[in-house]
Chains A and B, each alone.
Chain A
Amino acid sequence: MVQTSNLHFIVIDDSKLDCFIAEKIIRNSGGIDSIKSFLQAKEALQYIATARPEDVAHTIVMVDIQMPVMNGFEFVEAFEKFSPEIKKNYTLYVISSSINDNDLNRVQNYSSVKQFINKPLTNNSLIQLLENPI
């Protein structure tokens, strides 16, 4: 089991099942402080905008790409507009079922996105992530 102290998670996915899977797998990995999932990217943005720094340092954000209303790319672009004081508390991962080259290339162009993760999230991919999460 990987030791992770003071690590919070935010999962943003319009699929309830995918949020559920991510929550279970993250929780099973142990040593996690909190997990929040949002079905809408806008709600996650609001949370990040208003959260107290001591409650969120440090947070791993996993965001899906294709979502209605606000998609993953729009979320990342909105996130990048936050102040450095807010941004420094978060590490962004994009998680998607997409195998579209345009999507994958686009993910690489965002400096705030650490890595692209293929769906579905598995124990193994999470363990790899947790080796060097931030």
Chain B
Amino acid sequence: MSTQDKIKILYIDDEQNNLVGFKATFRFDYTVFIAVDIDQAYEHLKKNPDISVILCDQRMPDKTGVQFYEEMREEYPDPIRMLITGYADIESVIDAVNRGHIFRYIKKPWTDTDVKSAIEEANKFYITNSMLSAKNVELQSAYDELGKFAYSVTHDLRGPLLSVIGALDLAKTMDDIDEIKEILGMMDSAVRKLDEFITNTHEYYNLKRGKLVFEQIDFNDIISDTTAIFRIAGRMDSVKFTAHVVQNDVFLSDEISIKIILNNLLSNAFKFQRKKASDKFVDVNIEVKDDNAIILVKDNGIGIQENHINNIFTMFYRATSEETGSGFGLYNVKDALNKLNGTVEVDSVFNEGTTFKVIIPGKGNGTN
């Protein structure tokens, strides 16, 4: 067992001999911290937030073990507390156990086996508790997301639908074919917006629920796959697109996540162009080096205003009303990067353009 996996325990006793004896007995099985008084105990707790079990002698000069536990558990509620005591203190022990301060007590003189089994039990309890609180945190964030979802569904799904319903009603009263065609064009973009939202939702759930599948990534293939979709949709018209890939080594990563990242960054780059500019460009630069993929996506589009930059990765946040957007794209980029242990930086000048720099470590390089 490595030091990392060993159970961390803290033993507090005002008698130095007991401390030394305890550490000598248990140091092979556990990582043992010892404290001769309460101040020392607090120091250990502060430096080692992952101490899972505490054993404390009941009779100490300035405070009893029960008093110490009552006081410390406000700040350090997680470690499992056990008391070591002789029979004479049994009243206060029963009281403390009943009041929920103490998991178990060990009577003096203790045997190695007693202490060991108590520590193992306490640690199991600790692990169960921490798993429970981790689950609770997960559950809370799932609830919060569900709330956001329910709200956004009204706007992002219902909004375009109602627009189309309104447009249909209107079109029924029209006779002029050009006018009808105009309204058809707008209905088309409303329906596409709806479709984009659904695709993004699908990506979101793929990222949340899906497991990473590591395979060899060929960035040239990924670029041509991704841009093919844009080309068919006519979104690359009048935008000069350049891609430059330097990949000499095998790169292992999750293809779906990487496609989501590139697809969203490129989609934004093509979408948020300055309409009147004549020199529109989107440039992608990918380099695989030392098992890192460094991706630069650069455009000379509308840019992002400084006061919005910190929020662009927030779910449903939209920094502009130019063009349609679900407020989902960059959130999904960030989410995918979190899974891959990657990072993203943004450099943007309003009305001049934006560069996203993404670094993704390969599988051998620290991805979860």
Contacts and interface: CB of A to CB of B under 8 A. Distances in A.
Interface of A: 14-18, 20-21, 24-25, 28, 39-40, 66-69, 97-100, 119-122
Interface of B: 151, 154-155, 158-160, 162-167, 169-170, 173, 183, 186-187, 189-190, 318-321, 325, 327
27 contacts: A15-B160, A17-B163, A17-B186, A17-B189, A18-B163, A18-B166, A20-B186, A21-B166, A21-B167, A21-B170, A24-B170, A40-B321, A66-B155, A66-B159, A68-B318, A68-B320, A68-B321, A69-B319, A69-B321, A97-B154, A97-B159, A119-B163, A120-B163, A120-B166, A120-B167, A121-B166, A122-B169
Contacts of A24: 170
A119 B162 CA distance: 6
Contact of B321 (A21, A67, A120, A121): A67
A98 B154 CA distance: 6
A68 B159 contact: no
A15 B162 CA distance: 11
Contacts of A119: 159, 162-163, 166
A25 B170 CA distance: 8
B173 A100 contact: no
Given A15-B190, A97-B154, A21 B159 contact: no
Q: Is the interface of A mostly helix, strand, loop or mixed?
A: loop
B151 A120 contact: no
Contacts of A98: 154-155
A99 B318 CA distance: 21
B220 to A, nearest CB: 35
Nearest to B322: A39
Contacts of B325: 68
Contacts of B160: 15
Contacts of A121: 166
Contacts of A40: 321
B183 A20 contact: yes
